[in-house]
Amino acid sequence: MQTDSSFTFVLFGGTGDLSMRKILPALFEAHRAGGMLADSGKIVAVARHVADRGEYLQWVDEHVKPHASKNGVDEAAWTSFLARIELVKIDLGNPEDFAQLRDAIQDMPGIRVFYLATGPSLFVPICHALAAVGLNHNARIVLEKPLGYDLKSSNAINDAVGEIFAEEQIYRIDHYLGKEPVQNLLALRFGNALFEPLWRREWVESIQITIAEELGVEARGDFYDNTGALRDMVQNHLLQLLAIVAMEPPHSMDSDSVRDEKLRVLRALKPIDPHEIGKVAVRGQYHSGVIRGNAVPAYATEHGVKPDSSTETFVALKVEIENWRWAGVPFFLRTGKRLADRVAEIVVNFRAVPHSALGASALRAGANRLVIRLQPNETIRLYCLAKQPGEGMNLASVYLDLAFDRFFREAQMEAYQRLLLDVINGRLALFVRRDEQEAAWRWVEPILNEWKASTKLPKPYAAGTWGPAAASAMLAQHGTCWLEEEN
Ligand code: BG6
C-alpha cells in the first residue's frame, strides 16, 4: 500500500514502556516495510528526562531496537528510521511549555497525530494545553486504555477531551481490534454466506470467548491492583470481541456502519441484576502455583499489590443479548492471569441434531462447533461427526481445519502497526466510539459495584490452572463446559 499522507506523529510518554515495546517498534515496522509511511513523515517524541535528541536516539537504540523486528533489524532501515525522530523536551505538567512544542512542529508537514501514551490523569491537562497553543486543529488524538475507572470518570475524560477535539478526531485504542485474526473474524462472518443462516439462536446453543494469559501482573502490580480483570480486559477487549461475534452484518465497512452495529449489541446486553450476580459472574485471584514447570508467586505477594488485596485476576461471566437473533443463547466470557495456557479463542457450539438415527453420540452437545483461535497460531476449525472406519456405525469427532500460515506466506501485521497506520490515514473503524465505550461501562458497572460492596473475597485458584471451580460450575448449570474440559 503506497501512501502520500504526510504526518507529524507526536508521542507523549516517549520513554514509557508502551512507546518502547509497542508504538516505536510498530512505526519502525511500517517504515521498514516501505511505502506505508510518507517519506516526509516525522516522529516527535515528547520526553522530559533526556538531555537532547542524541541521548534520546541512544535510548531508542538500546531499548526499542530489541523489540523492533522479530527476525533481526535491517540496519539501513533502522538508521533511516532514526532520522525521522525528533525530540521535544517539555514538562507535561506545565502548560506554558506547550508553546515550545508548537514552535517545534509548526513547520512540519501533514496531519498532526498526538498519541497520549501517558497515564490517564494526564489526558485532560494535555488536551487543554494543546488547545491553548492552537494545536487542536488539523490534528488527531489517540487515547490509550484505560479510559476512566467507571462510567462517571470515563464520561469526565470524554467530556473534557470532546470540548477540544471533535469525535472524528478522537481515536480510542483497543488493540484487540487491530489484531489480524479479529479482522479475519469479520471476513469469516461477512465474506461467506455459509455461516450467516446458522449464526443465530435457532442453531447456536452457546458461545464461549476466552482470553487466557500465562503471565501475571509483571511490573504493573500497582496499576493492576487498582484496576482488576473486569476493567482491564472485560470492559474493553472481551466486550468488543462479543460485539463483533454477535453484531448484524454492517451495511459497509466504513467506520460508523461497523461501530453502529457493535453499539446495538452492547446496548442489547441484558442488564445484570445485582441479586443474580452470584449466578452469572465469578471472580478469582491466583495463588502460588506452577506454570510450565516454574513456580510462580501468589498475586497478593506481587510487587505493588496490597497483601490483603481483593482485586480479581480472573473473571468468568454469563452474558445474554436481548434481541431476536440471540435471545436465550448464553455467551460465556472468561479471562485471567496466570492460567494454564496463553490462548484467545471463540467457540461457537451448535445445537445437536433434533433426532438421531445414528445413535446417541450424534445428540452430544458440541458435536458441531466452530473454534476460532485468535492466538497463538491462528486457526479456524469446524468440528463435525464422521463415521469411524470399520464395522458398525460409530461416530467420531473430526474437523475441517483452516490454518492461515498454510495459506498465506505473508507475516501477520501487528495490531499496533495496523492501528497507527489507520490513525495516520484517518480510518476510524477499528477505534472505539464514545457511545460504545459508555454502553460497555454501563453494562459492567453493576458488577463493579456489587463486588466493591461485597464482603466475599475473590475465589482462589492456583496459578497454572484454569481458574476457580465456580467458573466450571456456572457452565455445568447450562449443560456445557469450557472447551479444554472436554479433552
Ligand atoms: C492489555 C491488558 O490491554 O492486554 C494487559 O492491559 C493484557 O493486562 C494485554 O496482558 C493482553 O494483550 P495480548 O495482546 O497480549 O493478548
- Domain extents in the chain: 7-144, 177-413+430-486
CB neighbourhood size of 394 (10 A): 13
The pairing of strands 204-212 and 170-172 is: unpaired
CB neighbourhood size of 96 (10 A): 11
29 within ligand 1 shell (Cβ under 6 A): no
- For a mutational test of ligand 1's pocket, the pick from 17, 21, 211, 213, i.e. the residue with the most ligand atoms closer than 8 A to its C-beta, is 213
120 Cα–ligand 1 center, Å: 17
Distance CA 332, CA 329 (A): 10
Residues 6+ apart with CB under 8 A from 121: none
What is the model's pTM?
Answer: 0.95
What does the pLDDT average to over 274-282? 94
- Residue 13 — left, alpha, or beta (φ > 0 → left; ψ -120 to 50 → alpha)? left
- For a mutational test of ligand 1's pocket, the pick from 176, 226, 302, 419, i.e. the residue with the most ligand atoms closer than 8 A to its C-beta, is 176
Cβ–Cβ under 8 Å, residues 347 and 370: yes
Whether 2 shows a pLDDT value over 70: the answer reads no
24-33 and 415-425 helices, crossing angle to 10°:
80
213 within ligand 1 shell (Cβ under 6 A): yes
Distance CA 396, CA 416 (A): 41
Q: How confident is the model at residue 4 (pLDDT cuts 50, 70, 90)?
A: low
- The annotation places the binding site for substrate at 175, 179, 213, 232, 337
293 Cα–ligand 1 center, Å: 23
CA nearest to 128, candidates 146, 110, 116, 145: 116
Distance CA 289, CA 123 (A): 38
Question: What topology is assigned to 177-413+430-486 in CATH?
Answer: Dihydrodipicolinate Reductase; domain 2 (3.30.360)
171 Cα–ligand 1 center, Å: 18
Residues 6+ apart with CB under 8 A from 116: 12, 13, 122, 123, 126, 141, 142, 143, 144
3 Cα–ligand 1 center, Å: 30
Q: Which atom of ligand 1 is nearest to the CA of 215?
A: 10
Instruction: Out of 31, 128, 237, 303, pick the active-site residue.
Output: 237
Q: Which atom of ligand 1 is nearest to the CA of 179?
A: 14
C-alpha cell, 129 = 494545553
CATH number of 7-144: 3.40.50.720
Cβ–Cβ under 8 Å, residues 321 and 443: no
Ligand 1 atom 5 nearest Cα: 232
Counting residues of the chain whose pLDDT is more than 90, the rounded percentage is 85
What number of residues does the chain have? 487
Is 237 one of the annotated active-site residues of the chain?
yes
Whether 487 shows a pLDDT value over 80: the answer reads no
455 Cα–ligand 1 center, Å: 29
Residue 276 confidence (pLDDT): 93
Encode pLDDT of 342-391 as tens digits.
999 999 999 999 888 888 777 777 789 999 999 998 999 999 999 999 99
C-alpha cell, 397 = 469427532
Angle at 221 between CA 219 and CA 227, to 5 degrees: 130
Tracing cell 465474506 back to the chain, one arrives at 191
378 within ligand 1 shell (Cβ under 6 A): no
What does the pLDDT average to over 292-297? 95
DSSP string across 327-343: TT--EEEEEESSBSS-E
Residues 6+ apart with CB under 8 A from 9: 27, 41, 42, 43, 44, 113, 115, 420, 424
CB neighbourhood size of 342 (10 A): 13
Distance CA 341, CA 388 (A): 31
337 Cα–ligand 1 center, Å: 10
What does the pLDDT average to over 243-262? 95
Q: Which atom of ligand 1 is nearest to the CA of 342?
A: 16
Distance CA 366, CA 194 (A): 19
Distance CA 62, CA 348 (A): 45
What does the pLDDT average to over 70-88? 92
| Mean predicted lDDT score pLDDT of the chain | 94
CB neighbourhood size of 212 (10 A): 21
Q: Which atom of ligand 1 is nearest to the CA of 375?
A: 16
What does the pLDDT average to over 64-89? 92
Angle at 27 between CA 26 and CA 31, to 5 degrees: 120
